Structure 1
Amino acid sequence: MRQGDLVVRNSYGGDVMFTLGPVVQGQALLKGLELRLLADAPLHDLRLADPEALQAALADENRRARRSIRQLDRFRRENGEQGMRRTGGETGYFEVPGKVLHLDGDPGYLRKSMALYKELRVPAEGYFVTESSMATALATLLPRTTPDIVVLTGHDSILKNSKGRDMQNLASYKNSRHFMDAVRVARGFDRNKDSLVIVAGACQSHFEAILSSGANFASSPGRVLIHALDPLVIAAKVAYTPSRSQVKITDVLSGTLSGLEGMGGIETRGCYRVGMPVVEWKELSETTETAGERVSKTADKRK
């Protein structure tokens, strides 16, 4: 076996497929193929994933993910049409969905997420930030990006040596404390849970603790593994729910791939608005003098 191979663990009955990472003294680092899971296992406990089983699993995973994405795209288009009727914009309208700031502790999952934000037309900025550094990063990024929605995700787990411990104890979790700290920083920036929506957590995260820190949505009520795209699904649904409406919790959670065991949340208003008339936006430059220095500001080009 070589780094990058797809493997399963014999001791777990081959239940999850992993990408094989570095091997140190016979212990291999593993990353879930589609689940936000980091694990390690002795090399002798691993075997290459069966090609047929792999193809079947990937096809099933792709079908489930594409179904969720189609639902989100249909939801976006329906809200746009409703917005046009509300504004009487038969001649056209423009959309202003919520803007996402996405911090991810996994660069591979971040790339997938950013590609899907683009496909779903959700304005988003994404940054690869380790879980332990998210609170510090937010202090700089929040005032610079001024998002409507913040997604904080990556990897988490119940630690091996926590068997028999109280699962309410944060010491039993790899990164839940870091997610809590980051949520508190974000909530300190904006205390209104409707003007700044926070989605936080990863696999097996301490749901209650993260939610009580100020998140609108968090993982994982059932301490289960969550799909890599579940936080994005919630963020996209919030981004395209009209600002006058509340996100339907059952709808948004049932749209995730891990369901109610994987994600939970509280009543939250959407961020989506429509406007009119439609005009052709052109790049605009303006210059101002500040302390004797010329500062050039360029407005965003919109279509």
Structure 2
Amino acid sequence: MTPLGFALVLAAALCHATWNFFVKRINGGPELIWLFSVLSVALYLPLAVAIWVRSAAFDLTQLSFIAGSTGLHLGYFLVLQAGYRTGDLSLVYPTARATGPLLSSGLAVAVLGEAISWQIAAGAVVIVFGVFMLTGGVRRSAGNATVSLAFGIGAGTLIGSYTAWDAYAVSALAVPPLLMDYASSAGRSIVLAPVAFRRRADVLRHWREHRGGVLAIAVFNPLAYILVLVALTFTPVVFVAPIREISVLVTVLMGSLLLGEGNLRHRLGWSAVILAGVVLLASSA
């Protein structure tokens, strides 16, 4: 993996953990997704227009992949939000991040034809195992933990699906990464507009009470994935998908230290295992 690819994925992981922290702290629903999506559309509009003007006209295949990506991302956000409203940030999010790379790496090998070495496979397995144990492993099987794990697995399945889907779009079909993500934000804004109108009191409350957090989500949510998509234009999914899991380390620290979710010693220990897996994978040829 190239140093540039690793740097892009690392920066994306930090951005991803940051916006997830603010989503959990605000604790909103679909109206929050609509609010930060609309703001993202407005904030990134100048860049989107500039790239659109310089790009060739999209064909039907490219437009179909953009539409499919929008649907997968919308489903991910809705499942993730539902999980955050019923579970712990440091349980739902790591579970999703454990499921996602397994599926996306498998799809990359089976569908995209990417090669995988023993070191890549070993690094991915160490990362996924560390994330699984970070959630408590098989012992966390009752009450709120079960619900959190179910939502996490659902979100992870969508992560794996849209990662492989989008990787093909930006690498094989040459869809510009920023426009790929911008279309997703615009699609969410349109689809969720009726919900936002019905919950306009909540929309105004989120903006009034959490303006800084909402703006942070609006900036870091698109930026996190744009950086990943740029990396995917020259880096295989089997590298990118597992290394994105370094965001779990940051998220766990935020959940334990800033949201009072506890178990810091346990979570730090398994975070170190995840980091070891990242090093193993990133250092492979």
Query: What band does the TM-score fall into relative to the shorter chain?
Result: under 0.3
TM-score, normalised via structure 1 length: 0.26
Greater percentage in helix: 2
Bigger radius of gyration: 1
Name the structure where strand makes up a greater proportion of residues. 1
Higher relative contact order (CA 8 A, sep 6+): 2
